[in-house]
Amino acid sequence: MGVVTLLAPITGWAAPLDEVPDKVFSERMLGDGLAIDPTEGEVRAPFDGVITVLPSSRHAVSIRSDTDIEVLIHVGLETVALAGRGFVAHVAEGDRVKAGDRLLTFDLETVARDAASLITPVVVTGEGWTLSERVTNRLVTAGQPVLRIERGPPAGSEATSEGSANRTIRSPLLHGLHARPAARVAGVAAAHRARITLMAGQRTASASSPVGMMALGLRDGDNLTLSASGPDAEAAVAALAELILSGMDEKAGPAQAAPSPTVASAGPVEGDDGELVFSGVCAAPGLVVGKAVHLRLSEIVVCETGQGAAHEAAALDAALEVVAGRLEAGASGGPVERRSILAAHAAFLTDPELVSAAHQAVAEGRSAAFAWRSACGATAGLLRSLGDPRMAERADDLMDIERQVLLQLAGDAPAAPPALGPGDVLLADDLLPSQLIALDGARLAGICTARGGPTSHVAILAAAMGVPALVAAGEGLDRIANGTLVVLDADGRRLTASPSAQTLAASESRAAADRRRKAEARAASGESCRTADGARIEVFANLGAASEAADAVAGGAEGCGLLRTEFLFLDRQTPPDEGEQRAQYQAIADGLEGRPLIVRTLDAGGDKPLPYLPMPHEDNPALGLRGVRSGLLHPELLLTQMRAICRVRSSGPVAVMLPMIASVAEVRQARALLDRAATDAGSATPLLGVMIETPAAAMTTDLLRPEIDFISVGTNDLTQYTLAMDRQNPHLAAQLDGLHPAVLRLIAAAAAGAGDLRWTGVCGGLASDPLAAPILIGLGVTELSAAPAMVAEIKAAVRSLTLGECRALAASALAVESADAVRQLAAEALDRSRTPRHTAGAPA
Ligand code: PEP
Ligand code: MG
Cα(552)–Cα(500) distance, integer angstroms: 41
**pLDDT confidence bin for 115, thresholds 50/70/90:** confident
Q: Does an H or E element contain 43, and which?
A: strand 42-44
**pLDDT confidence bin for 20, thresholds 50/70/90:** confident
The DSSP line for 485-520 is: EEEEETTTTEEEES--HHHHHHHHHHHHHHHHHHHH
Residue type, 213: M
- pLDDT the model gives residue 335: 62
- pLDDT the model gives residue 795: 96
As a whole number, mean pLDDT of residues 650-654 equals 97
Cα(204)–Cα(365) distance, integer angstroms: 29
**Beta-sheet strand order (sheet of 145-151):** 3-7, 145-151, 129-132
| Residue scoring higher pLDDT (758 or 419) | 758
Per residue, the 3-state secondary structure of 659-677, as one string, reads CCCCCHHHHHHHHHHHHHH
Residue type, 682: G
Cα(44)–Cα(42) distance, integer angstroms: 7
CA distances from 570 to 243, 442, 759 (A): 9, 33, 29
Report whether residue 717 contacts ligand 1, using a CB cutoff of 6 Å. yes
As a whole number, mean pLDDT of residues 416-439 equals 82
The ligand minimizing its distance to the Cα of 714 is 1
Report whether residue 693 contacts ligand 1, using a CB cutoff of 6 Å. yes
- pLDDT the model gives residue 389: 59
- Nearest-5° angle of CA 702, CA 704, CA 707? 125
Residue 22 burial by CB count (10 A; 0-12/13-18/19+): exposed, middle or buried? Answer: buried
Which atom of ligand 1 is closest in space to residue 693's alpha carbon?
A: 2
Q: Which range has the worst mean pLDDT, 331-340, 561-570, 597-606? A: 331-340
Give the torsion through C-alpha atoms of 57, 58, 64, 69, to 10 deg.
Answer: -80
**pLDDT confidence bin for 843, thresholds 50/70/90:** very low
Looking at residue 652, what DSSP letter applies? S
Q: Which of 626, 691, 692, 723 to mutate to test the pocket of ligand 1 (most atoms within 8 A of CB)?
A: 691
Residue 825: closest CA among 836, 834, 816, 833 = 816
CB within 8 Å of 191: residues ≥ 6 apart: 239, 572, 573
- pLDDT the model gives residue 463: 74
Helices (H) and strands (E) in the chain, counts: 28, 35
* pLDDT at 732 > cutoff 80: no
Cα(530)–Cα(802) distance, integer angstroms: 9
pLDDT in tens, 656-689: 999 999 999 999 999 999 999 999 999 999 999 9
Whether 117 contacts 75, CB under 8 Å = no
Cα(224)–Cα(308) distance, integer angstroms: 42
- pLDDT the model gives residue 347: 81
* Annotation says 634 is catalytic: no
* Annotation says 345 is catalytic: no
* pLDDT at 400 > cutoff 60: yes
How many C-alpha atoms does 59 have within 13 Å on its Cβ side?
27
Residue 362: closest CA among 316, 296, 299 = 316
As a whole number, mean pLDDT of residues 65-72 equals 86
Report whether residue 728 contacts ligand 1, using a CB cutoff of 6 Å. no
| Residue scoring higher pLDDT (539 or 391) | 539
| SS3 state at 760 | strand
Residue 684 burial by CB count (10 A; 0-12/13-18/19+): exposed, middle or buried? Answer: exposed
**pLDDT confidence bin for 154, thresholds 50/70/90:** very low
- pLDDT the model gives residue 434: 75
Whether 533 contacts 841, CB under 8 Å = yes
Q: Which of 448, 529, 560, 763 is catalytic?
A: 763
As a whole number, mean pLDDT of residues 324-330 equals 81
Report whether residue 716 contacts ligand 1, using a CB cutoff of 6 Å. yes
As a whole number, mean pLDDT of residues 126-130 equals 74
| Distance (Å) from CA 693 to ligand 1 centroid | 8
| Residue scoring higher pLDDT (267 or 40) | 40
**CB count, 10 Å around CB of 51?**
20
Q: Which of 763, 783, 784 to mutate to test the pocket of ligand 1 (most atoms within 8 A of CB)?
A: 763
- pLDDT the model gives residue 265: 56
**pLDDT confidence bin for 350, thresholds 50/70/90:** confident
The neighbourhood of ligand 2, an ion, using CB within 5 A, equals 693, 714, 717
Length of the chain in terms of residues written: 844
Helix 819-834, helix 803-815: angle, nearest 10: 160
Q: Is 201 left (phi over 0), alpha (psi -120 to 50) or beta?
A: left
**pLDDT confidence bin for 427, thresholds 50/70/90:** very high
Among 181-185, 668-672, 834-838, name the most confident range.
668-672
Whether 218 contacts 224, CB under 8 Å = yes
Whether 692 contacts 717, CB under 8 Å = no
As a whole number, mean pLDDT of residues 578-589 equals 96
- pLDDT the model gives residue 730: 47
Whether 710 contacts 758, CB under 8 Å = yes
How many C-alpha atoms does 760 have within 13 Å on its Cβ side?
24
- Nearest-5° angle of CA 515, CA 517, CA 519? 65
As a whole number, mean pLDDT of residues 396-409 equals 88
Residue 276: closest CA among 67, 552, 477 = 477
Phi, psi of 60 (to 5 degrees): -150, 160
Cα(460)–Cα(752) distance, integer angstroms: 38
* pLDDT at 102 > cutoff 90: yes
Looking at residue 117, what DSSP letter applies? B
* pLDDT at 456 > cutoff 70: no
**pLDDT confidence bin for 137, thresholds 50/70/90:** confident
Phi, psi of 77 (to 5 degrees): -115, 140
* pLDDT at 838 > cutoff 60: no
Report whether residue 225 contacts ligand 1, using a CB cutoff of 6 Å. no
- pLDDT the model gives residue 783: 98
CB within 8 Å of 646: residues ≥ 6 apart: 674, 677, 678, 680, 681, 683, 685, 686
Q: Which range has the worst mean pLDDT, 97-101, 606-610, 795-799? A: 606-610
As a whole number, mean pLDDT of residues 313-320 equals 95
Residue 631: closest CA among 674, 601, 590 = 601
- pLDDT the model gives residue 249: 61
CA distances from 266 to 389, 472, 477 (A): 18, 10, 12
Which atom of ligand 1 is closest in space to residue 562's alpha carbon?
A: 5
Cα(794)–Cα(797) distance, integer angstroms: 5
Cα(100)–Cα(547) distance, integer angstroms: 62
Q: Which range has the worst mean pLDDT, 153-157, 212-216, 416-420, 532-536? A: 153-157
| Distance (Å) from CA 486 to ligand 1 centroid | 40
Q: Which residues pair with 490 in a beta bridge?
A: none
**CB count, 10 Å around CB of 838?**
6
Global confidence as pTM: 0.54
| Distance (Å) from CA 716 to ligand 1 centroid | 5
Cα(148)–Cα(501) distance, integer angstroms: 84
**pLDDT confidence bin for 454, thresholds 50/70/90:** low
* pLDDT at 691 > cutoff 80: yes
| Distance (Å) from CA 748 to ligand 2 centroid | 18
As a whole number, mean pLDDT of residues 490-517 equals 89
Report whether residue 251 contacts ligand 1, using a CB cutoff of 6 Å. no
Cα(517)–Cα(794) distance, integer angstroms: 11
- pLDDT the model gives residue 328: 80
* Cα end-to-end distance, the chain, whole Å: 85
Q: Do strands 87-89 and 70-74 pair parallel, antiparallel, or not at all (unpaired)?
A: unpaired
Average pLDDT, rounded, for the chain: 85
Cα(4)–Cα(122) distance, integer angstroms: 14
Residue 120: closest CA among 25, 6, 250 = 25
Among 193-202, 289-298, 775-784, name the most confident range.
775-784
| Distance (Å) from CA 713 to ligand 1 centroid | 9
* pLDDT at 263 > cutoff 60: no
- pLDDT the model gives residue 157: 39
Cα(790)–Cα(17) distance, integer angstroms: 59
- pLDDT the model gives residue 266: 63
CB within 8 Å of 221: residues ≥ 6 apart: 170, 171, 172
Give the torsion through C-alpha atoms of 113, 115, 117, 120, to 10 deg.
Answer: -120
Cα(804)–Cα(844) distance, integer angstroms: 6
| SS3 state at 483 | coil
The ligand minimizing its distance to the Cα of 598 is 1
| SS3 state at 185 | helix
Residue 273: closest CA among 501, 467, 463 = 501
Residue 792: closest CA among 586, 517, 582, 469 = 517
| Distance (Å) from CA 763 to ligand 1 centroid | 7
CA distances from 224 to 167, 199, 201, 511 (A): 8, 6, 8, 48
- pLDDT the model gives residue 402: 92
As a whole number, mean pLDDT of residues 746-754 equals 98
Residue 768: closest CA among 749, 785, 781 = 785
Q: Which residues pair with 495 in a beta bridge?
A: 278, 488
Q: Which of 457, 529, 560, 740 is catalytic?
A: 457
Whether 681 contacts 641, CB under 8 Å = no
- pLDDT the model gives residue 30: 75
As a whole number, mean pLDDT of residues 756-775 equals 94
| SS3 state at 701 | helix
The ligand minimizing its distance to the Cα of 542 is 1
